[in-house]
Amino acid sequence: MAHIIDGNAIAAEIRTEVAAAVQHRLERGLPAPGLNLLLVGEDPASEVYVRFKSKDCEKVGIRSTIVRLPADATQQQVIDQVQEWNADSSVDGILVQLPLPKHINEHDVINTIDPEKDVDGFHPVNAGKLLIGLDGFIPCTPLGVLEMLKRSNIETSGKHAVVVGRSNIVGKPLAMLLAQKRPQGNATVTICHTGTRNMTEFTRSADIVIAAVGRAQMITAEHVKPGAVVIDVGINRITKADGTNGLVGDVDFASVEPIAQAITPVPGGVGPMTRAMLLSNTMVAAERRSR
Ligand SMILES: NC(=O)c1ccc[n+]([C@@H]2O[C@H](COP(=O)([O-])OP(=O)(O)OC[C@H]3O[C@@H](n4cnc5c(N)ncnc54)[C@H](OP(=O)(O)O)[C@@H]3O)[C@@H](O)[C@H]2O)c1
């Protein structure tokens, strides 16, 4: 039986720490950190995510403002909004909720965000800093995974970590971080993707398997070495046998949990960590900007 890594509990710990740090700022006469969120269009999932993020801010004393633009907003309108926030000293963090409507170029919008306010860590300057090991902003999901490993006392140094998935927001940054000579790093890292042949050979030799694939329950017991640590980043909506909808990860929890040393559940694993790390990144942005 695996140790179940409780993302909800670790995220609650982080929120408590951020709330204390916000309080400490106020005691020093500094304003509460401010996060501005931009939502373009009416995508229902994005609407929910943005509201959750704003509520999370409220819980820890971070000021948050949501601005909504219509689905037919022009790219220039979106860029103008970001630039207004870049110039506004009361805004510490800027988050543009993705995906943007198809007629808007996401890269151009992300490139407009001041890297010092890019709390999602998607700006190329922050991606570059991550690659060469400088302090920038690390995207919230990879950062959340590292924080989970740290707080669960899972050693990564000298271990073989296999990351399945190479997206710019999860797989790639996570693989780079795990390979770096730093705490929660120093691992030997393999990245698997759709071009990988015989993926099981790689995953079965892993001490740590990280699934960021977007394929429901794809990683089964046959992919995992007994005693491995398994981190499931996936969030997939499925219709269960009884007709109800549910959330599952990229890992087949039922078959993997009995053989793993430790495993994250879905829901309640990496998801809450991602949300908590946004608060932490916003706090860091505010502190850096107050120096
Ligand atoms: N927990 C959270 O907070 C959080 C945050 C972000 C994302 N997610 C979830 O994490 C998952 C991954 O997200 P993402 O944004 O990284 O997804 P993505 O951009 O779709 O990337 C998926 C990656 O998995 C690879 N892949 C797909 N099918 C594969 C297969 N059969 N075998 C091997 N590799 C395969 C793809 O390879 P190619 O590059 O070759 O196409 C790609 O690199 C999704 O379920 C998403 O909902 C969760």
33: CA distance to ligand 1 center in Å? 32
- The verdict on the CB of residue 216 being under 6 Å from ligand 1 is no
Q: Which atom of ligand 1 is nearest to the CA of 195?
A: 40
Distance CA 206, CA 223 (A): 9
Cis peptide before 226 (omega within 30 of 0): no
- Is the pLDDT score of 18 beyond 90? yes
The residues with which 263 forms a beta bridge, in sequence order, are 4, 230
Q: What is the per-residue pLDDT across 197-228, written as a single tens digit (0 to 9) for each?
A: 999 999 999 999 999 999 999 999 999 999 99
Ligand 1 and 267: CB distance under 6 A: no
Q: What is the pTM of this model?
A: 0.97
- The hierarchical CATH code for the domain 140-271 is 3.40.50.720
Specify the CATH number for 29-114; select among 3.90.76.10, 3.40.50.1820, 3.40.50.10860, 3.40.50.2300: 3.40.50.10860
- Choosing from 167, 250, 279 the residue with most ligand 1 atoms within 8 A of its CB, the one to mutate for a pocket test is 167
Output the pLDDT for position 1.
Answer: 86
DSSP assignments along 205-234, one per residue: T-SEEEE---STT-B-GGGS-TT-EEEE--
The CA 146 to ligand 1 mean position distance, Å, reads 18
Contact 15, 59 (CB under 8 A): yes
Q: How remote is the CA of residue 237 from the centroid of ligand 1, in Å?
A: 14
Catalytic residue check, 43: no
> What is d(CA 142, CA 122) in angstroms, rounded to the nearest whole number?
12
Q: Are 29-114 and 140-271 equal in CATH topology?
A: yes
Active site annotation includes 117: no
> How confident is the model over 122-166, as pLDDT tens digits?
999 999 999 999 999 999 999 999 999 999 999 999 999 999 999
The pair of three-digit structure tokens given for residue 42, joined into one six-digit string: 């009416």
Structural domain spans, the chain: 29-114, 140-271
